[in-house]
Chain A
Amino acid sequence: MNPSCCPAPADGLPATTPRAARHAQWWLAGYATAVVAVTSVHDPRVLAGLLGLALAASGSTRWRVLRRALLAVLAFNLSVSLGYLGVSLWQGAFRPAYLVLVNLRVLLLVFLGFWFVSRVNVLQALSFSPTLSFVATLAVGQVTVFLRVLRDFRLAFVSRNPGRPRWSDRARNASAQATHLLDKSVASAAEASLAMRSRGCFDD
Chain B
Amino acid sequence: MHIPDGFLSPQTFLPAYAVAGVAWLWAARSLRRQLDDQTVPKLAALTALAYGLGLIMLPIPGGTSGHLLGVAMLALLFGVRLAFLSYSLVLLLQSLLFGAGGVTALPINALAMGLAGAAMAVLVFRALRRLGEPLAVVAAAWCSVMLSGLIVGLVLGLQPLIAQRPDGTPLFFPFGFAVVLPAVLVPHALIGVGEAALTLLVWRFARGRGWVAAEGQAERSVRCA
Contact = CB atoms under 8 A, between A and B. Distances in A.
- A interface, by DSSP: helix, strand, loop or mixed? helix
Interface residues of A, number: 67
B185 to A, nearest CB: 16
Nearest to B65: A76
A101 interface: yes
Contacts of A136: 89, 93
Contacts of B8: 39
Contacts of B174: 80, 84, 87-88, 98, 102
Q: Which of A39, A69, A93, A105 has the most CB of B within 10 A?
A: A39
Interface residues of B, number: 62
Contacts of B100: 72
Nearest to B41: A189
Interface stretch (A56-64, A156-164, A190-198): A190-198
A132 B89 contact: yes
Contact of A106 (B6, B40, B45): B6
Interface stretch (B48-56, B134-142, B216-224): B48-56
A190 B44 CA distance: 9
Interface string A129-155: 001100110111111011000000000
A95 interface: yes
A145 B93 contact: no
Contact of B104 (A39, A185, A189): A39
A36 B14 contact: yes
Contacts of B168: 93, 95
Nearest to A72: B99
Contacts of A88: 174
Contacts of A131: 28, 31-32
Nearest to B179: A87
Given A97-B169, A109-B104, A189-B41, A143 B36 contact: no
A80 B63 contact: yes
Interface string B1-35: 00011111110011000000000000010011001
A122 interface: yes
Contacts of B177: none
Given A68-B99, A122-B96, A132-B89, A182 B44 contact: no
Nearest to B2: A76
Given A76-B59, A109-B6, A114 B48 contact: no
Nearest to A187: B41
A1 B7 contact: no
9 contacts: A35-B103, A76-B63, A78-B59, A84-B174, A98-B174, A102-B7, A178-B201, A182-B49, A189-B45
Given A102-B172, A109-B104, 16 more contacts: A80-B61, A87-B174, A88-B174, A98-B169, A98-B174, A101-B171, A106-B7, A109-B6, A109-B103, A122-B97, A138-B47, A143-B93, A146-B52, A182-B205, A183-B209, A186-B209
